[in-house]
Structure 1
């Protein structure tokens, strides 16, 4: 297997994996042509790339068949009045091993001729492996003719559009074919036939106009050649183009690469880069919204109040479905704003439904402890301060009675009772304050615990219901993009112009054995 084969097969596998992974989330208008391209590439690769398939395509009256006869040095293709009578492809092969490929191209045996046994000129060795096709007219009134053209064009390695000086700007050619061929510039040549009918002074203008039209079609750098099948003018240059295509061999791989590149570009057009958005910010936003929907703050406040007052039965309300639905909608809008409809639908299907989210919130919040009990020491402190205050009252009353002479107490005892009353009063008040502080701190801590536990529940529900399914879908989306990008052509081939001839395999082998020839001497071009 050549490096070209290996690279193209790997790229094909990557594109196949991307399409399979995307599945029904791809628009059928995209998935169908991409799958067709993959199937065509696999079939073409199965035939190998040791042949270079060149097709002459053009409209009625362009002289395409006459040019075919000139290039093949045979009078084989139908010309003139006989052209509209057949929708068959005519093929000339400079190979004796092209039968399987011609079968695949559906060229019937009666329309084939092989020059492999008739290499009557040494210079034709440079065309070994070439298969030259003469396609039916793309603008024929017979629908079957155009169907043949449309079927074959995606699978040729080098396409030569043959146009005539009168109809080279024909809209059907440009709108139906040329504008659909962006990305295949390296595998395309335009041959302006019947150049002998154009005054010499007007030929450069004609070529410039054709090049301008091609640029308008989005095709930059396509080589435009001028020929005359009638007089033979420019034929040698077109043969040079064919020889360059055959010599570099990579035209065959280049056409397949172009097909993969276009299919990958089409796939990428349906999987644009995601618009930047912050998952963390989105999670925070929706957690806040869902916490409000379940009344987390009010319930925590009720727990705090219950601890302070010693009573209360706080509970979480059933989540507000409208608020949950709004939160879900906001999430989908954020995470899916760059996605095409199929992927947005998939995201909507994967992100949990509103009732499911609400149910998970209820289940999670049921496990949150809403404890309104006071401090464990509350009973002992209460008894202590009440006892202190009671004893303070008793001691104070006795001291007052003694001081008023109602009861006969020594002065020292009255003083002692008064002091004890004050001390007990202070102790009781201190115990009251301490108890209040302890209860307040506990109430605050319980409130914070409810808020933390409730927030944890809400965050877990958001992660499970929103984040995880979104990450799964977007992960596959990014994988599709990476595979499609990997399937694209890393380096585009230069258009075939016939200006330079690349070294043949035999020349490369000779140089590698130590002939010492330089690239310039062999015409090598990178």
Structure 2
């Protein structure tokens, strides 16, 4: 049983004063989704949650399934009171039906009678053990449209609390914790009964806002004494420790005060039921307990860590050494006796890389989750094999540059021609060859030009070799780093990200069950007796 203050914690918990059939299942649908989300969190987490937390959550979910099957959108209002107080007459007056036994036909109420302004209250009434013949559905009456504002209400007429039959009191004690609004019906003759006050009313201290005391049969009291009688009832309640209890004077026979009482029930129907609030509180509590197992401080994405790991792996397999060898070999212009190769990474180096990776990603995780991450990441042998396999596909071309080789060959041919021309010029000048002197000058000039061309070709060839060496080295480096990045993502990043995604999913699913309308710390009425 909840208080009006508890039911209006936040604006999101308020509803229109008139709850229609279309809105009657709002709570049930919402909490069914919450239950599904919490169950999904447990399924994704598996055995990575604290066993006690997981077991308790499963127990709560089992109870939630039962509650949802019964329905959490009903507002249960119970009429309680002693023999002859007029509970059944009040029941009939509120329901506007002559259904509950009254008067000489039934001096005491022995069984629960229910009137439901709902078409789907059968599972709940079965659970409450209300006999089939003691039920009536108000919405099926001809004037059901006039009762639409009470949609979802279940009005119970409880057995007399002062009955000598212990079974009657057991029924009352079992049903009271489920009640949203408890209406105690007393009469002008026995309202001060010690059994009522000491046996029941005094135990409801703290739940005053969810309780109404109805002083029935007010028509039997003289008009001049009615106010004093109501004041005396309030005084006795204060002496019981019940402060601020709403005391009403009504007459089930004449209808005095009944319309006002029905309006109060309309207001109660517009708020969440006690079953909905309790379910919300339990799911919220379990969601927070599970969320504590998956802290928000844990890393969400491993992508920012990948470049650093690629650099570490590149050092372990000697990428830079291979790049330097390719550059030197191509720059020299000579074919190396043995092509540069990536070395097999040391087992200890890969072990350190893996260990550091797991530690960084698992930082802040609970032990079970950290172990799950460690198991998801391959062992160092598998990582080493994957690295070598990826590097074997990297093309390492350290052969001389064909263009640079052609330029050098051309330079030597031109230089050879320059030598021939120089010799010819010398022979002409020395008179060994009998030709015109001009020919010697031309030959000498041509030899000088050829030398210059040869030098230019050699310089261009050298630069071509350098450029080719840098280009080949960069290609090898890029291809090697791409291969290593792909391997790091496959062996380290992807398995770790899968665990992180599951970690985040569990947290988000667990926290999604939080209901802004729940009053997790609020007390209830009869449930706390």
Matched, 1:311 2:335: yes
Q: How does 1:433-448 map to 2 (within 5 A)?
A: 433-448=459-474
Q: How does 1:31-430 map to 2 (within 5 A)?
A: 31-49=54-72, 50=74, 73=82, 94-95=112-113, 128-129=155-156, 234=242, 237=245, 250-275=273-298, 279-309=302-332, 310-312=334-336, 313-430=339-456
TM-score (norm 2): 0.60
Alpha-carbon deviation of 1:101?
Answer: 6.7
CA distance in 1, matches of 2:279, 2:468: 75
Aligned to 1:449: 475
CA distance in 1, matches of 2:316, 2:55: 45
Report Cα offsets for 1:55-102 as digits up to 9, x if no partner: xxxxxxxxxxxxxxxx7648xxxxxxxxxxxxxxxxx98545999879
Aligned to 2:170: none
Provide structure 2 residue ranges, at least 5 long, that are not aligned to the other structure. Answer: 1-23, 84-109, 116-120, 137-152, 162-173, 183-203, 209-233, 249-263
Report Cα offsets for 1:113-146 as digits up to 9, x if no partner: xx999xxxxxxxx9944889x9xxxxxxxxxxxx
* Secondary structure in 1 matching 2:512: helix
Report Cα offsets for 1:374-398 as digits up to 9, x if no partner: 1223454333222222222222223
* Secondary structure in 2 matching 1:316: coil
CA distance in 2, matches of 1:407, 1:433: 35
Aligned to 1:11: 34
Report Cα offsets for 1:191-244 as digits up to 9, x if no partner: 89xxxxxxxxxxxxxxxxxxxxxxxxxxxxxxxxx9999x8664994999xx99
CA distance in 2, matches of 1:2, 1:278: 39
* Secondary structure in 1 matching 2:399: coil
Q: RCO (CA 8 Å, sep 6+): is it higher in 1 or 2? A: 2
CA distance in 2, matches of 1:157, 1:268: 31
* Secondary structure in 2 matching 1:487: coil
Distance 1:15 1:497, change over 3 A: closer
* Secondary structure in 2 matching 1:43: helix
Select 1:474's aligned residue among 497, 500, 509: 500
RMSD over aligned CA atoms reads 4.5
TM-score (norm 1): 0.60
Say whether the 8 Å CA contact 1:272–1:339 is kept in structure 2: yes
* Secondary structure in 1 matching 2:331: helix
Alpha-carbon deviation of 1:470?
Answer: 2.5
Provide structure 1 residue ranges, at least 5 long, that are not aligned to the other structure. Answer: 55-70, 75-91, 118-125, 135-151, 161-187, 193-225, 499-526
* Secondary structure in 2 matching 1:10: helix
Say whether the 8 Å CA contact 2:69–2:123 is kept in structure 1: no
CA distance in 1, matches of 2:235, 2:47: 49
Count of residues in Structure 1 that have an aligned counterpart in Structure 2:
375
Report Cα offsets for 1:149-175 as digits up to 9, x if no partner: xxx99x967899xxxxxxxxxxxxxxx
Alpha-carbon deviation of 1:42?
Answer: 0.9
CA distance in 1, matches of 2:379, 2:205: 56
Report Cα offsets for 1:382-427 as digits up to 9, x if no partner: 3322222222222222322333345544321221221122122112
Say whether the 8 Å CA contact 1:389–1:424 is kept in structure 2: yes
Say whether the 8 Å CA contact 2:287–2:513 is kept in structure 1: yes
* Secondary structure in 2 matching 1:441: helix
Distance 1:159 1:295, change over 3 A: farther
Say whether the 8 Å CA contact 2:303–2:493 is kept in structure 1: no
Distance 1:2 1:227, change over 3 A: farther
Matched, 1:24 2:55: no
Report Cα offsets for 1:484-525 as digits up to 9, x if no partner: 222112213595789xxxxxxxxxxxxxxxxxxxxxxxxxxx
Larger Rg: 2
Distance 1:340 1:38, change over 3 A: same
Select 1:483's aligned residue among 509, 519, 526: 509
